[in-house]
Structure 1
């Protein structure tokens, strides 16, 4: 029996490590060569020329992410691919903190299994394989969590400097993870409560924290030229981002209940945890039911580990921030909530006696995620996004054209589209500007058409559908479906 248990543990560890390696190698094999969204263009342009005023990238600059991309760019010619490879390499390092965090609650074999399940989470993997800051931010987030626990367990207060530095690294990559700084405040609270540090020490560590953040913040101010200029730029961006196109709750057309449902079920569970896979969501729901049943069956409640309380607090803070302050049309904003939930499930599931049924389902889940990862990564790295397909279609039209878009122009500029294209926001501007292009075929994307309709303009008899282009919604939630229309004005539609 002892040999059998050792063999089982060895097989579980070997399977988990093999699954992680397969996913990692697949990420490198199918590096995403496409730059298919406004934000991706912003980041890619910043690798060769960092300029906040020119939105290379957009505010707040993500300086440490761009710095990582610049380093990889020394070896990889394409700036977009350089950012993606930086994401892949940095996120692969997160296996260590995931394992170490799990090891505080689980055996070695189940810690490896948990790390493999979390690492191979399908939606996270395909987001990491894009030239966006989320991949590197997730990696920094895991190291930040590990540093918090590391400092929490040490009586030597000097170790508090590690999570302070990791917080600076994380925010320098993605400032929207600011709600997670509650972890530092919680750490300070516990250290003062346990009399590990004095109130005077607390002031010193706060100053160190400010100094760490200043390392990247001052660099941004210098790049902008002055503090006043930097503040003006930040106010201009945040006003537009949250009021004009950001999708925060103040500008949303849907009710709060609809927003909550889309955010919780649509983004976190169905898209995020399940990757829109019925098999994955069924297994996770079963695991959650087992955990709830165990919790209800327990006779006496054991005190929670203070670190788990910290994770629950951090999850709650970011949940509120993501729900009220982020664009829920982009599920990538919930990535840290996804990995935290999967971590919670793994810890609660494997910390008790694990039946062969649960272990078998966990192995099936891991295998299914790896299989799905390879398929999705191959598709992401080889199949053209909808906007690329539209560009190819228009380029082959044997007639002069003018294309009016909403945000697609940013991508078309980046890929050097051969025809004239313009971004617009109002019908009045379109009517005025299109007069300069008489004799050309006037094309509109569906985003423009929807914008005109929202502004109260009837387009009956004025447009005809030309073509539609599709790609995977998981890769690009906003522009996975693009419909092209031809403007015929007051002419009869045949």
Structure 2
């Protein structure tokens, strides 16, 4: 029996909304209770006491994200879960701007369908359900993206204030999204070109934009005590943040082509779009192969190209490619672009069937992954449980793991170490105790040219899901046998 077009559209909208509801309810049911990385500890501690000097959180402060956690903390009584819940609720609000942006290119039914696909992207959902700023930043990004189009389409130039204000919220959640400010320049250029505003008005709007940003920057300066102290803190953070050995891939040790491959394939495609499910990539490839590949001619696409390009360059050259979460805005822009191509014309039965399967697969993956993220202990939690029951006095030398162990109130001695020279000097004070090293410390020593083959022995390894813990999904303990 052939289904009429109106009924097909109605069913497509119902399926899309149901899919969004299932994912949203799953997010609330499986709120991640773990705080398993340095950054997560920084954010969580900041909910109780905001102190940049104590790295609660680390620079630049992420004030609007922390504010969201503070507002919800009285209701959940758990700072980490409060941040995650803020992510979930704010991300759910992005359904409106995503739909509105899609609606400029697609029919109502396909706009809902595209919104459901974008919203349920599995890696995005995983990151939203962590006490990290990425989830809230992704929501703020969509609101900002929509506001640019909204202001672009209005002849009244006063509406420019809307994206300027939302850009302040976006950067106050995640400053690394600064390249998206190019959207404001695009808006200014378009307004001048269409003669709907003047240079004098744009100067006024620019001042308003600076004032909006100053709202959170000045607040951070006051929290630090002085402008001088704030600048010193920012310089101290930025000078060491990308250079310390340990969990990160060092730019100097991999070629540009290796970095490009990791960034594009591993981070954006394999992890970001597919969440490491080959079936997702296969479906997208087939859909693109059988679609008519019509790219809609609309200002929204110019904005997509511009914002994608600016952030891509920034992410490739300035971000830590060891962490795929830095590519999230690129991931959603690509999926939006793919949906605009696949659904720009009336799709065939095969396209519709494959697209429904894609959405169903993502929703299923979301539920499974959310449950795993909320119930399976991270590797560092497993290591801590093992060491708490260790039958000998121990001292553990770590890299970033110490931050989490401090948060967990580990009862044994643990220290963050950076150089082998200091380790040799410090370990002398612990004669009679079992000295343990994590694999990140061993890696760091070897990077310093130290041969450890006869000085260490493997004790045990602990694993967790790499999607949840990209750097510390596997931790290996070594016993120090040297003198």
With normalisation by structure 1, the TM-score equals: 0.95
- Between the aligned partners of 2:228 and 2:56, the Cα distance in structure 1 is 19
The alpha carbon displacement at 1:31 in A equals 0.4
8 A contact 2:290–2:351 mirrored in 1 = no
Tell me which residue corresponds to 1:459: 452
In the alignment, which residue of structure 1 is the partner of 2:329? 336
Does the alignment pair 1:325 with 2:321?
Answer: no
In 2, Cα distance between equivalents of 1:357 and 1:303: 21
Mapped partners of 2:250, 2:187: distance in 1: 33
Matched ranges for 1:26-425 at <5 A: 26-244=26-244, 251-290=251-290, 294=293, 304-425=297-418
**What is the CA distance between 1:4 and its match in structure 2?**
1.7
Shift of 1:9: 1.0
CA–CA distance in structure 2, aligned partners of residues 73 and 134 of structure 1: 19
Count, aligned residues: 483
Structure 1 distance, partners of 2:311, 2:263, is: 12
Following superposition of structure 1 onto structure 2, how do residues 414-453 of structure 1 map, counting pairs within 5 Å? 414-453=407-446
User: Deviation at 1:317?
Assistant: 0.3
CA distance in 1, matches of 2:126, 2:251: 29
Kindly indicate whether the alpha-carbon contact (under 8 Å) linking 1:386 and 1:479 is maintained by their aligned counterparts in 2: yes
CA 1:384 to 1:138, structure 2 compared with 1: closer, same or farther past 3 Å?
Answer: same
Deviates more, 1:468-477 or 1:348-357: 348-357
- Tell me the CA shift for residue 131 of structure 1: 0.3
Moved more, 48-57 or 302-311: 302-311
Residues of 2 paired with 1:368 and 1:252: CA distance?
39
Q: Deviations over 1:92-118 (max 9, x none)?
A: 000110111111111111011000000
Between the aligned partners of 2:73 and 2:241, the Cα distance in structure 1 is 29
Q: Which runs of 5+ in 2 are unaligned?
A: none
For the 8 Å contact 1:128–1:135, the answer to whether it is kept is yes
CA deviation map 1:325-376 (0-9, x unaligned): 0000000000000000000000111011201111101000000000000000
CA contact (8 A) 1:247 1:326 kept: no
Deviations 1:270-325 (A, max 9, x none): 0000000011011112233345x635xxxxxx882122101100000000000000
CA contact under 8 A between 1:246 and 1:326: conserved in structure 2? no
1:250, 1:104 → 2: CA distance? 42
CA contact (8 A) 1:248 1:324 kept: no
What SS does the corresponding residue of 2:89 show, helix, strand or coil? Answer: helix
Q: Within 2, Cα distance between the matches of 1:290 and 1:232?
A: 56
Measured after TM superposition, the shift of residue 249 of structure 1 is 9.3
Does structure 2 conserve the Cα–Cα contact (< 8 Å) formed by 1:94 and 1:142?
yes
How far apart are 1:66 and its partner, in Å?
0.3
Q: Is the 8 A contact 1:271 1:331 kept in 2?
A: yes
Contact 2:246 2:444 in 1 (8 A): no
Cα separation, 1, equivalents of 2:246 and 2:307: 23
Partners of 1:114 and 1:205 in 2: CA distance: 34
Is the 1:248–1:326 Cα contact (8 Å) retained in structure 2? Answer: no
Aligned to 1:298: none
Are 2:462 and 2:475, in contact at CA under 8 Å, matched by a contact in 1?
A: yes
Q: Deviations over 1:77-134 (max 9, x none)?
A: 1101100000000000001101111111111110110000000000000001000000
Cα distance in 2 for partners of 1:404, 1:244 equals 16
SS in 2 for 1:484: strand
**Shift of the alpha carbon at 1:250?**
7.7
Alignment of 1:11-22 (within 5 A): 11-22=11-22
Q: What secondary structure does 1:465 align onto? A: strand
TM-score (norm 2): 0.98
Q: Any conservation in 1 of the 2:248–2:322 contact (CA below 8 Å)? A: no
2:146 match: secondary structure: helix
Superposed CA RMSD: 1.6
Classify 1:326/1:395 alpha carbon distance in 2 versus 1 (closer, same or farther; 3 Å). same
Note the residue ranges of structure 1 that are not aligned, 5 or more in a row: 296-301
Partner SS, residue 131 of structure 2 = coil
Work out whether residues 296 and 340 of structure 2, in 8 Å CA contact, stay in contact via their aligned partners in 1: no
Q: Aligned partners of 2:11 and 2:127: how far apart in 1?
A: 30
CA deviations on 1:37-67 (whole Å, 9 max, x unpaired) are 0000000010001011111000000000000
CA distance in 2, matches of 1:421, 1:303: 57
> Once the 2 structures are TM-superposed, how far is the Cα of residue 248 of structure 1 from its aligned partner?
9.2
